Amino acid sequence: MAEGLDPIDTGRELHERIKELHGEPDKDLGSGAAAGKDHAHDRHSRRVQIFEALLLALVTMTAAWAGYAAAAWGTVSRVDIARANTLRDLATRADLEALSIRNFDSASFDAWFTAFTLNSPQKESVAERRFRPQFLVAFKAWLATDPLHNSHAPPGPTYMPQYKIAEQTTANSLDTASDAKFQVGTHDGLISDDYIRITVFLAAVLFLVGIGSTFKLYNVRYALITFGSALLIVATVLILLQPGLPD
């Protein structure tokens, strides 16, 4: 029997020739290219995730520091304003004491002036003994101006430069200190507001990076990372312009 062609071998050979003619790639080569593409995709994904993680870490630490500084300056502001209010209360108390002393001096002088108009030296002497030592100094200086004959003399001892009330001086000093302390407290409050405003920028960065991880397109994620990094730089510059933590 003459030896012929094996139909199975012939079919396989024909199939290979057809694949070569149509340029169909080999299955093993195709699977290798797909594996390489998946590996590059995974490496790109890990790189993006590392960038996002680093940015989140920096933003979190910066936001924590800015929040602490805002709270510290807010506490200092409240303490300064409370001290200003305390000084204002002390100034009001001293002012009331000075007013009482001024009223007493006026009443004492009115008693002397009544005795003077009645031409009663004895009563004048009694009224003078009621004068406070500080008022007596101003009273004698006023008499030295010869108010009976000098039309340019001051109206009374309380208008003399020698007339001084220590409590009034104290009240004025406390008022000045209260105003200064209130201004300091207000300034400290503005610094606290600035730090709070910075935390808003940092919160925006956290939002951008967080929402960026939901996108599959790497160009969008890179854009959000870039914008978030720019906001982080702006926030850092603003922090450096602040006076730092209070003493």
In the predicted model, what is the mean pLDDT of the chain? 83
Q: Given pLDDT bands bounded at 50, 70 and 90, which one contains residue 224?
A: confident
14 or 114: which leads in pLDDT:
114
128 domain-assigned: yes
38 domain-assigned: no
18 domain-assigned: no
Q: Given pLDDT bands bounded at 50, 70 and 90, which one contains residue 93?
A: very high
pLDDT over 70 percentage in the chain: 79
178 or 216: which leads in pLDDT:
178
Which range of residues forms the domain containing residue 174? 51-241
pLDDT at 16: 60
- Among 11-25, 36-50, 54-68, 154-168, the range scoring the smallest mean pLDDT is 11-25
pLDDT over 90 percentage in the chain: 53
Contact 183, 81 (CB under 8 A): no
31 domain-assigned: no
pLDDT at 122: 92
pLDDT at 42: 61
Whether 31 shows a pLDDT value over 70: the answer reads no
185 domain-assigned: yes
pTM beyond 0.75, yes or no: no
pLDDT at 8: 52
210 domain-assigned: yes
Q: CA 122 to CA 111: how far, in whole Å?
A: 12
Reported for 44-52, long-range contacts at CB under 8 A and 24+ positions apart, including other chains, are: 44/218, 48/218, 48/221, 48/222, 48/225, 49/213, 51/225, 52/209, 52/212, 52/213, 52/221, 52/225
pLDDT at 30: 47
Into how many domains does the chain fold?
A: 1
Residue range 41-56, pLDDT digits in tens? 566 667 777 877 888 8
4 domain-assigned: no
Mean pLDDT, to the nearest integer, of 4-29?
A: 51
Residue 148 identity:
L
pLDDT at 133: 93
97 domain-assigned: yes
pLDDT at 43: 67
pLDDT at 229: 84
Whether 71 shows a pLDDT value over 90: the answer reads yes
